[in-house]
Each structure stands twice: as C-alpha cells, then as structure tokens.
Amino acid sequence: VRKTAARIELVYNYFPRLAERRKQLAGYLSGGEQQMLAIGRALMAGPRIMMLDEPSMGLSPLLVQEVCGIVRRLNQQEGLTILLVEQNASFALAVADHGYIMEDGKVVLEGSAAELRGNEEVQKFSPGGGKKEGGGFRKVKWYRRKKRWV
C-alpha cells in the first residue's frame, strides 16, 4: 500500500493537472492530459525503462514543451531510461542523449543528440525546417547505404 501511495504521489508531482482532475473519467480529459495519464499509468508499475511512442502527437506547442520537460526530468531525476519513438525531431533531440534517424525501416543516420541537432540535413527534414529538396534522406548527398544486417 505504501509503495502504491508513493507512486501515486510521484505521478501527481510530475503531473499536477492529473491531481486536479483525479475524479474525472479519462475520456473527458484533454489530449495533453490523456498523454500525461498514459505516462502516469506506466510510472505506477515502477519501470526502469519506458517506451514512449509519439508523445507529442496532437499536442499544442505549449504542451509539447511541458511533456518534453517532464520526460527529461523523469530521466534525470528518477534515473528512468526512456526509449522515445518520435517524428518531431526537435522534441526528440531536446530530450535524447543519442538518436537514430530512420527512413523506410532503415537507420540512415545516428549520433549523439547534439551532433544530430547540429546536422543541417536533420534540420532540413524536421518539422518547420521545410522539406526543400524532397524525397527524404535518400536524395541527400551524404547518405550512403550501409549494410546493417549479417
């Protein structure tokens, strides 16, 4: 019982909005609140690793920043390893230590988050960067196909 109460308190500390709305049904929460609830539910299991699939999808830019900060804090303060699958490169690289850029199921680029943030081609294909040349990473000069299988 103590463990459960401590975990509920942890979730409410990270997501005070959930504490305010704890009597509401999940279906009546906003999209951002539902995303917070999904993360909070996962935290209740006391994981050491958590996979988040598109946590920024459908959220306003303000909520994306809030979720980004919470994900970063969970990693730094709770020691939680997070596997993040995200199309929003700026969000993903803001919270990641290391990243892999994939296209059509293949890794086309990898490196530290700082290296990838500074990469001109990653910026070009990120939301807001504009896909000026079109065609994805395959048409970018530096892309060289590498065999990644045995």
38-42, 98-102, 140-144: segment of lowest average pLDDT: 140-144
User: Which percentage of the chain shows pLDDT scores above 90?
Assistant: 53
Average pLDDT on 136-146 reads 51
Is pLDDT above 90 for 5?
Answer: yes
Strand ranges (DSSP E) for the chain?
Answer: 49-53, 81-85, 98-103, 106-112
Average pLDDT on 112-125 reads 86
Q: For residue 150, what pLDDT band results from cuts at 50, 70 and 90?
A: very low
- What residue has token string 């979730």? 11
Please state the separation of Cα 145 from the chain's center in Å: 27
pTM: 0.75
* Strand pairing report for 49-53 and 81-85: parallel
